[in-house]
Chains A and B, each alone.
Chain A
């Protein structure tokens, strides 16, 4: 008898505990997500003229919008350029910091510091590296007699320049996850491998790397999400230019919504972004997950 009262009370209590958080979670994640989807079928309200249902018109426009395709291509290249590289570097960093190398305290500091810097500050620092003629990269190039290069102003290099900055910022963050995973590998595995005469490369390839697979999955999913979410440096370094050569999807959404005030079309673009993110992370999950199990 007492038990049932207790249970019923606990049911009420649970909801009381949960409600404040759920209101905010739903209010700022699910509600705007659903509303974004809904609004993507409407025109942008202007002045006294309310939004009108236009069906798939925004999506039609999207398919014909050259800037959208450029930006989408840029973002895919950006992901392709940042994710595998920063994940590999992160793994190498973790192996170094976890080992017994001289100066690994300094290494850990050097690798991780970019993580605590604001991306906007990172962009400022790198901006100076890239300044034509005056910047450090060109100064070094001039030592070898190479000409000046406007890295951020050249459509061929702008995206690559931005990719380098993102890798520098992100690798140390991902290193931490590998570090955690490496420290959870039982030391007797290594001892056993050493007794068997296995080289450390062999140990890494056949024991450590497979054991790190879940971490690699987790880190990659995060890296992909970040490559669509982080655009702060674009504001400082290129503003998407020249001619949208370094613009990314979220930056384009920002421009559409808050520069051109095309909120209907911005909603459509946001839908694309959310769908892409879902496909990538779910897809990666299944793809890599399979490999973990059937190895």
Chain B
């Protein structure tokens, strides 16, 4: 019996060590951001708190505009993904037609060969469409998400066919069936997919970096990288304030709805 106790307390210590290790970079960034520059590497619990760093960071770059761009981008992608993926998933889940397997296989290819990798050709496409340096161009390659189609298809398949038949008998059309039967029953999946999608596109960097080149279109991630690139003059505490600021909305949302976040990522991950 004693041996078991020994093992489990060792386990507890290890767990706490890793947790603290994992937490420290963020805690440290927070420390520098809310204290005067003099306390960057001096850990003194009596150090005065300040909001100055955030104000300086906010003033040093057009972050307000970057935030607006990101919010527009994320909303646009989410709405488009919900609509496009719902329609496609419904077709895959409940219709029988020639070419279904082939089309579905084509959709699944996207899970491996993501638009993230095909930056060169997608840039050329955007140039041909005249969309370079627009927010639409950042979102367009991601709107028909293979992952979203797959996820919703799996969910729709679990909806009892009898419900659809009942609605049909009552004279409901295709979109009514979708709206009244399938979508309400798939709400948890939409929530899960929505959270995953929002955090993915809020954080996305490489493609927006390539396809934007003005303040009016840049999302916060690209804005932050430009802010950090001229770092010779920027102080660490201000940079950490800017860093926390750009991830702030997601971070706060996560801390408030932690359980939902983790559960959503879990649901989205079960295939």
By a beta-carbon cutoff of 8 Å, the part of chain A in contact with chain B is: 7, 10-11, 13-15, 17-18, 20-33, 35-36, 39, 89, 92-93, 96, 101-104, 106-122, 124-129, 134, 136, 139, 168, 171-173, 176-177, 179-180, 199, 218, 225, 228-229, 231-232, 235-236, 250, 253-254, 257-258, 263, 266-267, 270, 273-274, 277-278, 281
Contact = CB atoms under 8 A, between A and B. Distances in A.
Nearest to A250: B117
A229 B18 contact: no
Given A13-B174, A106-B19, A254-B206, A125 B29 contact: yes
Contacts of A122: 25
B15 A29 contact: no
Given A22-B88, A25-B144, A176-B266, A36 B18 contact: no
A92 to B, nearest CB: 7
B260 to A, nearest CB: 12
Given A22-B88, A231-B206, A173 B16 contact: no
A80 B108 CA distance: 26
B97 A10 contact: yes
Given A32-B122, A232-B205, A273-B117, A25 B146 contact: yes
Interface of B: 4, 11-12, 14-16, 18-20, 22-23, 25-26, 28-29, 32, 41, 84-85, 87-88, 90-92, 95-98, 100, 103, 106-107, 109-110, 112-125, 140-141, 143-144, 146, 149, 174, 199, 202-203, 205-206, 209-210, 220-221, 224-225, 228, 236, 239-240, 243-244, 246-247, 250-251, 254-255, 258, 261-262, 265-267, 269-271
A235 B267 CA distance: 32
9 contacts: A10-B95, A17-B95, A18-B88, A108-B262, A110-B19, A119-B203, A128-B239, A236-B228, A257-B120
Contacts of A18: 87-88, 91-92, 103
Contact of A110 (B11, B20, B88, B149): B20
Nearest to B227: A124
Nearest to B107: A25
Contacts of B228: 124, 127, 236
Contact of B23 (A89, A110, A235): A110
Given A92-B18, A128-B240, A258-B210, A36 B120 contact: yes
Contacts of B270: 177, 180
Contact of B12 (A39, A102, A236): A102
Nearest to A33: B113
B149 A29 contact: no
B262 A120 contact: no
Contacts of A119: 203, 205
Contacts of A172: 22
A187 B97 CA distance: 42
Contacts of B14: 92
Contact of A21 (B29, B41, B84, B254): B84
B224 A39 contact: no
Contact of B112 (A39, A179, A232, A277): A277
Given A110-B23, A126-B25, A267 B113 contact: no
A118 B210 contact: no
A274 B19 CA distance: 36
Given A26-B106, A113-B254, 8 more contacts: A25-B106, A35-B121, A109-B255, A136-B41, A168-B25, A176-B265, A176-B269, A254-B206
A35 B18 CA distance: 46
Contacts of B120: 32, 36, 253, 257, 263, 266-267, 270
